[in-house]
């Protein structure tokens, strides 16, 4: 007789207290995964989300820390393992976006963004590579701006292009462990981060960029993450452009 394994898979979502990361947490919890909601500064929002999931019958904890600090992330992964017994899925959604024409860019802003977006991606990927269980998945976040190349996005797109460069290399380094490594590259998504600093004409231009003639939603992106975290096992070393056909 085959005994069904009822132990839930475990996901850690960096940047899970807000924005797209929060929606990803909610989606993975609805998929039946135990979730760890990571936060950098907004502890209250992370705890509110975890409490909501637990009240609905799911399993959730919170972990904090700077994604670019190896000590913080070691402690975060250890906390998840202590709470749930291991880690199966890591979704690295934490990041910052600073927009500026190249000629006007404050290089201190460039350094700050690259520390979070590039060093942070390496720190989290390093922990994931060491700790993910067989059948696991690392899902990074890139951006469709690595292809759309809109003015003002060069510093941000450069930091995310580095994230894309990790995927296939790390997937090959993890040969034999049944672990996938992919990235999701959203197009324009209706979040507070997207709307910040944009006038109506700019928002309309981004809206018309896709054949669907709408902005994406966090749920659109979370759906792709759900695929990569679960049934999409034959997708590996790839960047999936979740952008509604933006060109």
Q: Determine which one of 156, 194, 206, 241 is catalytic.
A: 156
- DSSP secondary structure, 121-151, as one string: HHHHHHHHHHHPPTT-EEEEE--THHHH--T
Count CA within 13 A, CB hemisphere, residue 177. Answer: 20
Residue 190: partners with Cβ closer than 8 Å, 6 or more residues away:
215, 216, 217, 218
Annotation says 156 is catalytic = yes
SS3 state at 226: helix
CA gap 1, 40 in Å, rounded: 46
- Residue written as tokens 């797209």? 20
Residue 186 sits at φ, ψ, to 5 deg, of -70, 150
Helices assigned H by DSSP within 174-217: 192-195, 200-207
Contact status, residue 34 vs residue 11, Cβ threshold 8 Å: yes
Q: Report CA 161 to chain centroid distance, whole Å.
A: 14
Active site residues: 156
């Amino acid at each position: 007789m085959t005994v069904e394994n009822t132990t839930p898979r475990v996901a850690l979502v960096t940047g899970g207290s807000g924005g797209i990361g929060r929606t990803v947490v909610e989606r993975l919890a609805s998929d039946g995964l135990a979730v760890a909601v990571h936060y950098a500064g907004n502890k209250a929002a992370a705890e509110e989300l975890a409490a909501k999931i637990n009240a609905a019958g799911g399993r959730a904890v919170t972990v904090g820390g700077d994604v670019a600090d190896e000590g913080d992330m070691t402690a975060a992964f250890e906390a998840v393992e202590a709470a749930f017994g291991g880690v199966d899925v890591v979704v690295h959604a934490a990041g910052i976006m600073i927009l500026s024409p190249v000629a006007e860019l404050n290089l201190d802003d460039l350094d700050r963004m690259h520390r979070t977006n590039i060093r942070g991606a390496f720190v989290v990927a390093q922990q994931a590579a060491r700790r993910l269980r067989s059948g696991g998945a690392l899902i990074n976040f890139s951006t469709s701006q690595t292809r759309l190349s809109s003015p003002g996005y060069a510093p941000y797109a450069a930091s995310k292009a580095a994230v894309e460069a990790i995927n296939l290399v790390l997937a090959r380094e993890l040969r034999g462990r049944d672990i996938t490594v992919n990235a999701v590259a959203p197009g324009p998504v209706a979040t507070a981060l997207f709307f910040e600093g944009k006038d109506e004409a700019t928002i309309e231009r981004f809206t018309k960029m896709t054949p669907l003639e709408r902005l994406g939603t966090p749920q659109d992106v979370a759906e792709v993450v759900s695929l990569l975290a679960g049934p999409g096992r034959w997708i590996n070393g790839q960047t999936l452009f979740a952008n509604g056909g933006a060109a």
